[in-house]
A and B are shown apart, each in its own frame.
Chain A
Amino acid sequence: MVSSILPLTLKDAVVRKGGVQIVGPVEFALEGGGCSVLIGPNGAGKTTLLRLMHGLEKARSGSVSWNGTQKDVRLRQSFVFQTPVVMRRTVRENIAYPLLVRGRHKKEALVEADRWIDEVGLSASGHKEAHILSGGERQKLALARAMITDPDVLFLDEPTTNLDGASTQEIEALILRAKADGVRIIMATHDFGQSRRLGDEILFLYRGQIHERGQVEDFFDHPTTEEARTFIDGDILV
């Protein structure tokens, strides 16, 4: 499926905070299909770039444009945060919430939420207060809440940080399933293994700029920039 709100095009986009340039200028386009992975050292601007693409940050200069009206574009993308935001509600109410704000009837939204609860393996916790969930379960909740609106594009900000191996495996399986269903994935991660397992292409970010972009195997096997090579080799990149 080719997402109709794509391509996403960034032209000389710059994000500044407190007088410091966090991202940019960046210029690239993302077409439909697959999984693009933003990779780079701490402070490279991965999260800010994801937030810029999603519309949570504003470009100080340059532009971020989608194929569609502003409202349509916002409604057809979802974001999973590094630290899942858990609302003070039950698990099923958390997952149903995006449908409620889109005007769906509560009963209908909860039925749909129950389907996603089963899908992500939280069946035993559906009626429990969400705050009692473990880290991995919270991330599953966040994924189900992101997927319930049937998005064209899914942004994931280091979705398995601080999770154990089993939880990471379960989350990755859900991401792969979304990808197989045609959802365009754009994710940030530190994890090289995860980039290989989930990604189709890599965007290597360093000091707020895209230093290299390529297919996963090409990037890891034949990096073309010195910074990327240093990063892949595990050396300290200052």
Chain B
Amino acid sequence: MNDLLAGLISAFHLIVTLDHDLVEISLRSLQVTVTAVVIAAAIGLPFGAWLSVTRFRFRRIAIAVLNALMGLPPVVVGLVVYILLSRSGPFGVFNLLFTPTAMIIAQVIIVTPIIASLSHQAIRELWYLYHDLLISLNTSKWQRMKALLWDGRRSLLTATLTGFGRAIGEIGAIMIVGGNIDHLTRVLTTAIALEVGKGDFPLAIGLGIVLITLAIAINLAIHILSRTEREGRW
């Protein structure tokens, strides 16, 4: 209980004084997560739409695999990305290991199936409603996907924010491929793990509160900016 109270006080102090390290770590967390989510959304949303409007031989298997990939263990992803980016790995020449780029790559791999699967589920329901109309209007597959992505944008926003939530709280993969290097790859989650290891629970809790506040603030900001839940809007 004392640790929690001390954590709250610590968080308050860190935020009010705009602690330099906290600001740096938070900004890096945001930079890595937002970049990863934008890339994952750019891949996952169209893929979810394509999967909804396309019939092919192994479609059901593809959907089952995609759903299963939502639960991809981050530590395993981290390990695979580590091997691929390490000096002896196929992409070792790019020197990406222990950089924010490596962390982004790992997060994209973790988050893309989540966004793709959730968007597929949302778009599939909309496709069921729109199917006859869009076929009747002789639309191309691209036009159908475009209409479904646009009209389903609010459900897709939720799918993307779910991916954001998963990414900003992720630690297993980015610890492995980022290395938690001070002023280079340290982010909020890895910093929390470090402080716990050092036994500095108040600071760890303080960082945790900042992390949760940041995640909620981003979600709220996006909802407000996209004007969801307004009367008379989808």
Q: Do A and B bind each other?
A: yes
Within 8 Å CB of A54, what residues of B? 136
Digitize B12-40: 1 where CB-to-A-CB distance is under 8 Å, 0 elsewhere.
00000000000000000000000000000
| In the assembled complex, B151 has its CB within 8 A of some CB on chain A | yes
Q: Which residues of B sit under 8 angstroms from A89, Cβ to Cβ?
A: 151
A63-82 residues at the B interface, CB under 8 angstroms: 71, 74-75, 78-79, 81
Q: A78 to B147, alpha carbons, bound, how many Å?
A: 19
Q: Is B62 an interface residue (CB 8 A)?
A: no
A33 at the interface (CB under 8 A from B): no
A98, B137: Cα distance in complex, Å: 6
Assembly CA distance A147 to B129 (angstroms): 21
Residue of A nearest to B155 (CB): A88
- State A89–B129 Cα separation when bound (angstroms): 14
Count residues of chain B with CB under 8 A from any CB of chain A.
Answer: 17
What is the CA–CA distance of A89 and B130 in the complex, to the nearest angstrom? 13
Residue of A71, A75, A81 near B132 (CB, 8 A) is A81
**B152→A56 contact, CB < 8 A:** no
B125: min CB distance to chain A, Å: 12
Beyond A81-B133, A85-B129, 9 additional pairs, beta carbon < 8 A: A74-B138, A85-B130, A85-B133, A87-B130, A87-B133, A87-B151, A101-B139, A129-B233, A129-B234
Is A60 an interface residue, CB under 8 A from the partner?
no
User: Is there contact, CB below 8 Å, between B233 and A101?
Assistant: no
The 8 Å CB contact of B232, one of A56, A85, A129, is A129
Q: Is residue B181 within 8 Å, beta carbon to beta carbon, of the partner chain?
A: no
> How far in angstroms is the closest Cβ of chain A from B153?
9
CB distance from A48 to the nearest CB of B (A): 13
A132 within 8 A of B: yes
Compute how far the CA of A132 lies from the CA of B233 in the bound complex, rounded to whole angstroms.
9
Can you name the residue of chain B whose Cβ is closest to the Cβ of A128? B232
Q: How large is the interface on A (under 10, 10 to 19, 20 to 34, 35 or more residues)?
A: 10 to 19
Q: Report A-chain residues with C-beta under 8 Å of the C-beta of B135.
A: 56
Q: In residues 4-30 of chain A, which contact B (Cβ within 8 Å)?
A: none
Interchain CB contact under 8 A, A88 and B152: yes
Query: Given B126, B138, B152, which contacts A75 in the complex, CB threshold below 8 Å?
Result: B138
CB-based nearest B residue for A78:
B136
Given the complex of chains A and B, what is the CA–CA distance between A101 and B133 in angstroms? 12
Cα of A71 to Cα of B143 in the assembled complex, Å: 16
Which chain A positions have C-beta within 8 A of B233? 129
The interface centre, meaning the residue of B130, B132, B139 with most chain A CB atoms within 10 A of its CB, is B132
Partner of A131 from the list B130, B136, B234 (CB cut-off 8 Å) is: B234
User: Which 7 A-B pairs rank lowest in CB-CB distance, beginning with the nearest?
Assistant: A85-B133, A88-B151, A88-B234, A74-B138, A79-B136, A129-B232, A101-B139
> Is there contact, CB below 8 Å, between A101 and B137?
yes
| Least distance between B106 CB and chain A CB atoms (Å) | 35
Chain B residue nearest to A80 (CB atoms) is B136
| Residues of chain B within 8 A of A204, CB atoms compared | none
Is A97 on the interface with B (CB-CB < 8 A)? Answer: yes
Q: Which residues of chain B come closer than 8 Å to A79, judged between CB atoms?
A: 132, 136
Expressed in whole angstroms, the Cα–Cα distance for A129 and B232 within the complex equals 6
Query: In the complex, which residue of chain B has the Cβ closest to the Cβ of A70?
Result: B138
Is A56 within 8 A of B132, CB to CB? yes
Contacts of B136 in A (CB 8 A): 54, 56, 78-79
A residues less than 8 Å from B234 (CB atoms):
88, 129, 131
B230 to chain A: closest residue by CB: A129
Q: List 5 A-B contacts (CB under 8 A).
A: A56-B132, A56-B135, A74-B138, A101-B137, A101-B143
Q: State how many angstroms separate the Cβ of A142 from the closest Cβ of chain B.
A: 9
In the assembled complex, the Cα of A165 lies from the Cα of B121 at a distance in Å of 39
- Chain B, 112-132, CB within 8 A of any chain A CB: 126, 129-130, 132
Residue of B nearest to A155 (CB): B136
Give bound CA distance, A7 to B72, whole Å: 58
Type the 1/0 row for B134-146, where 1 means its CB is closer than 8 Å to any CB of A: 0111110001000
The complex places the Cα of A74 from the Cα of B137 at a distance, in Å, of 8
Kindly report which residue of chain A lies nearest to residue B153, judged by CB atoms: A88
- Please, how many angstroms separate the alpha-carbon atoms of A79 and B132 in the complex? 9
- In the complex, what's the smallest C-beta–C-beta distance from B65 to chain A, in angstroms? 28
Q: CB-CB contacts of A88-131 with B at 8 A, as 1s and 0s?
A: 11000000011001000000000000000000000000001101
Residue of B with least CB distance to A129? B232
- Alpha-carbon distance between A88 and B123 when the two chains are bound, in angstroms: 12
- In angstroms, Cα B140 to Cα A75, docked, is 13
Contacts A101-B143, A129-B233, A131-B234: A85 and B132 contacting too (C-beta < 8 A)?
yes
